[in-house]
Structure 1
Amino acid sequence: MIFEFIKYLKNIKKKFLLIPFSVFIILLFITLYSWNEAKNNSYKNSSIQFDGIAEKANLALISQMLGYTQVLIGAKSFIYTNKNIVTRDQWNRYIDNLDLSKSYPGIQGIGINKYVTKIEKQKHINEIRNSGFNEYNIRPPGEREEYFPVIFIEPFINRNIRAFGFDVFSESIRREAIQKAIETGQAHATGKITLVQETSKDVQNGFLVFLPLFKTYEIPKTKEQRKELIYGLVSAVFRMNDLIQGIFSEKFENFNLKIYDGNSKEKNNLLFSNLADDFNPKSEFNRVFIEDINNHTWTVEFTSTETFEELTKSSFASLLLLSGIIFSILISLILLFLISLFEQTKNVLQSNIDLKNTQMQLIQSAKFAALGEMAGGVAHEINNPLTVISGKAYKLVRMAKKNQLDLNIVEENAIAIENIVKHISKITLGLLTYSRESEEDHLDFEDIDKIIDQATILCNEKFKNNGVELIIAKNCQSNSLYCSGIQISQVLLNLLNNAFDAIKNLNNKWIKLDVTEDNNNIFFRISDCGPPIPEDVKEKIMQPFFTTKKIGEGTGLGLSVSRGIIEKHKGEFYLDKNIKETTFVIKLPKYLEKKESA
């Protein structure tokens, strides 16, 4: 067909080909331009949508952190209300009433750090030991001028017990935040640290937020006064993974999140990432925020996930490109067709030559049809329809030669030819279906009548031509079956062809396909009028490579492969030895669990 089209193009003058070619190039350029604009607009829309998601998520992060700061301010007011004298029980009840796990998810604990000088150290230790903690000591050991040990932390369980007595002023990152908090009188967050609460399991990055407590309710006005009147600290403890999980309780479906300590996105500064270590998937969209978290800088980076990109990807641009190319081709072909008509009108005097060309094309078409019959192996199934088409086409050609074309007759014959072509197409489509690999066919609810039709379409004509009566009896209420329809049809077709081979030389020939059911199963029974299978053959008939046919006769799935297909469907395939006629039975469950058949 393609070679004929190329030959046809060669017969048209080049100057006429230039017109449809030029139109095609122009339309193609318009299509590509429109496609590029649509793709850019789709990208912009996705980018705007992602920015909205990132801004909303970042706002949730900032709002939650502000909420934690309010918790510290409230705790500070509680301590001042009690004139800086708070017992362990009072602190426990106060924090317990806050219900941190529900109202402020993600916070590890709220603590009090008392300011202790070198001179006051031993007195402080004795006071704590006398309150019931005999082994209390300030950690890490060593003599220092100033200490800020953790004296209260709630909830006082599990990991938080490890922080009791720890001097937060002994470590440089914590000390820097404490000094800034005292100098400004405001809450200050530390940089990236490893909390003393960490164990050898599930180690996370962390940080602290310190709010200074002064001996006076009012914040002293000068730095010197604030240093002189410092009483202690109220602190919030955070483990980054727990914090982010508390803020973003849902899974990270639309974005990946990374938080860095400071302004630089260096690996050493990474506070949190929902991605595995060293895994940096390529993202189409990203948004970076520089945020002040309690007077400490965080760099918050959101990047799009593959899920988001797939959900927001528009198919409009691709459809526009495809439809534009098809439209360009169709318009060009229409112009080519119009030019062809013009050429034919111009050369009407050469009708005899045109007729010869038409005859050659018909001969060539017949050759292709013959090749198709041989390649497909379905000569019996399409021979008669092709004969009818040929007769009607010949009738139309004769009328055309005599200039006696009647539109009604042309329409009637065209409709008849179209219906016959549909029938042939159905046969060849069935042939293509059965010729392809079917190992990966998915299971679904298939119409039983369709399964039978797919199995019989390729053998009906052969049966008729050889005088074989095919009896189909469906005696079941069920209309569908959970299976691979193609595979079941293949098995049925194989059994029907085997039955045909067994009875084709008999006088009165019939094959019966019977469909029945019980509560849980559908039964397909294929029986024929042929002689019974010998007992010695019955024992070997299901074995691989066993056949009773002569060398070179017949193809198909083979009974052993057919049985394998049925068993994969959790069914049974066997020869019914209790019936006189040769009868093969396919037993399939009506309902099959998908997890079993995947």
Structure 2
Amino acid sequence: MKVDELIDIFKYGNYEDQNIRMAVINSESKFLYMSSTLVSFYENYKEMPVYDYYKDHFPSSELDKIINGINNALEGISTSSVIVLKDSLDKEEINWDTTFLPFTSEEGDRFCVTKIQPREIQLSTTSTNYLIREIVEKSNDYFAVFDEDLNFVYISKTDQDWDIKPIVGKHISSLINGNVLEIFKDRVKKATENPGEVITDIVKLNVANRGLVYYESSMEFHDFGALGKYYLDRTAEVTEKVLRNREIESQKSAIEKMSKWTALGQMAANIAHEVNNPLAIIELQAQSISKRGADFTIEQVREKINSIKEQKDRISNIVSSLKIYSHDDRSKREHTSLSSIIHDSIALFKTATVDESLKIVFSNDSDNDMVNINSSEIIQVIINLLNNAFDAIDELSDQWIELNLFDHNGLVYLDVIDSGVGIDKEIATKIFDRFYTTKGRTKGTGLGLNICQGIINDHGGAISFDPESEYTTFRICLPQVNPS
């Protein structure tokens, strides 16, 4: 039999499914053939010296066994040996049953045929490799392995239009460029600095006949010691997911705006009443000065002017609070005293409710209440909590709301407490769910607390209900910033 015929038998002998690696080595100890059963890298072993390959895979003691086995086979002697290889993380020793067989071609040339197979008791790691490879090759995602110079070592066959083999061995820059390449290099840098961690980016590419396509790329860096350093990369198309999330965010923003403007509409009549009262006082005082100004003393005129100024300031405060509350630029945040926002919220709320029986008390025990916030959104949250408290205690004889501000360990806290007796435990687990309400369809949408939670979370804080408190208590916390 010719050696080429023997190699053809190995190529079509289904050895991969049997977890076996076959190799043919010539008299110069160079590979003529090696099956790619243990790794799915596209490497060309032909004419590679056996020693050059195995020196990076086995310690010297095991390498001696391999060299001796090959030399014996070339002398016509069959030998078997157990070769020990530690896995890439040096956590598990894998024993390989290795047979070195002599082969003489019909031309009289001598060769060594090696058969390497993991022992059944040690198959866990190797079998996992095969299972992973099967999953990888059949996945719609792109899987790639890069060496430390960012050359392709492996790429999965995910797209039939790709000619895979020419890509292997090439640098990543042969496939991508520009901003996408810079994002890739930044991902490599982060992965290198955090070995074993998954570093993920969203990348967008203009694809022919499709336009803008979004991909999620996840990378890990591993140092396999003598086997080398590699980057493992998975890229999955997530265009539909990205667009769906954008639509959800857009709908969420629209719902939040609707909730805010609905609240303004509900407050409009009371706000108009609160503005009309000081305007009426201003008009009366102005008429009085106009008609009887000559009869007034300087002191009386001064009193009426001060009264007009007080009413003007009252209107100004209402308008100022409304302007902050109705502001729509969610991206604008600035360092603000939370106590000033609370004062604006209380003023706007009291203007809207016009209920003299309700007592509102605000205490500030904070040494530093500076926070980085969007004032309009935080006013929306506080007014929502005040409205909920007012609705809950509307029929109680003792009606009060307390707002307590304090700071601790880099956080600013605001407790909103009302004279109610709390919330049933079963209901309390649902109050932040979207569309859940206890107010009935005519009065509540079930969006208020859910929107509040979204706003506070977006600010890096948290909002919660205290089930242990004697009275109904909600707590907001926000990250503290240093005063400028």
TM above 0.5: no
* Bigger share in helix: 1
Normalised to the residue count of structure 2, the TM-score between the two structures is 0.41
